[in-house]
């Protein structure tokens, strides 16, 4: 299995701290304890990633990683962690909204939900906000290995009903960081969108010449 290089670039709390790079960029977002760090490590086939925490709610910056000198992955603070004060949650929300709405190189958001759980109000609010602002996202349901085949099918139906239309129901990626189920499918979607973004960037650069 291919191992990807992942160089930590910077942690940022405001736009002026974002790295000045032009690679297609993918941001990873989800509720705290949804398995975001495990997903990133599985996706990159790495046992460790810098700047990740074993304690939910500890990530307080937007962490930028350069992947194989071709992509940028950003790790966004998890939302909905009970032990984080409301004032900190509001600060994170403002920071994330500024990033998602203003970051020109953002190609798509990897929207992570826990397959074991019914869709939460916070998840649905994020979905509606992304849709309202025309932000492209890839929906990933993690921890599929924790469920039996029957339970998995039941939860997949629930998540599709809550998040997907009939036209895009096939775009849900069911993922397991333990056995890498869904890894190939997620990379396929990321690569497709990255290629589209590169083609668009090249076309814009050619027009400016």
Interval 77-96: pLDDT, tens = 887 655 566 776 677 788 88
Mean pLDDT, residues 151-180: 90
pTM for the full predicted model? 0.90
What pLDDT was estimated at residue 85? Answer: 66
User: DSSP secondary structure string, the chain?
Assistant: -PPPPEEEEEEESSGGGS----S-EEEEEEBTTSSHHHHHHHHHT-S--TT--SSTT---SEEEEEETTTEEEEEPPPB--TTS-HHHHHHHHHHHHHHHHH-TTEEEEEEEEETTSPPPHHHHHHHHHHHHTT--EEEEEE-GGGS-HHHHHHHHHHHHHHH--TTTGGG-EE--TTT-TTHHHHHHHHHHHHHHHHHHHHHHHHHH-
pLDDT-based confidence at 52, cuts 50/70/90? very low
Which range is least confidently modeled, 19-23, 66-70, 205-209?
A: 205-209
Most confident of 54-63, 93-102, 163-172: 93-102
Mean pLDDT, residues 113-123: 93
pLDDT-based confidence at 154, cuts 50/70/90? very high
pLDDT-based confidence at 109, cuts 50/70/90? very high
């Amino acid at each position: 299995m291919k191992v990807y290089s992942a160089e930590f670039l910077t942690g940022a709390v405001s736009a002026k701290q974002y790295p000045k790079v032009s690679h297609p960029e993918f941001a990873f977002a989800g509720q705290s304890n949804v398995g975001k760090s495990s997903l990133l490590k599985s996706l990159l086939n790495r046992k460790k990633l810098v700047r990740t925490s074993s304690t939910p709610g500890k990530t307080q910056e937007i962490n930028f990683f350069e992947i194989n000198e071709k992509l940028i992955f950003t790790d966004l603070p998890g939302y909905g962690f009970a032990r984080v004060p409301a004032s900190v949650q509001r600060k994170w929300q403002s920071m994330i909204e500024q990033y998602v709405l203003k970051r020109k190189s953002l190609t798509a958001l990897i929207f992570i939900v826990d397959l074991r759980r019914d869709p939460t109000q916070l998840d649905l609010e994020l979905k509606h906000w992304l849709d309202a602002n025309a932000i492209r996202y890839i929906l990933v349901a993690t921890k599929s290995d924790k469920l039996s085949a029957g339970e998995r099918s039941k939860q997949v139906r629930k998540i599709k009903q809550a998040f997907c239309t009939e036209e895009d129901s096939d775009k849900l990626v069911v993922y397991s960081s333990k056995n890498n189920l869904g890894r190939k499918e997620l990379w396929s979607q990321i690569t497709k969108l990255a290629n589209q973004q590169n083609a668009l960037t090249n076309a814009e650069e050619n027009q400016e010449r």
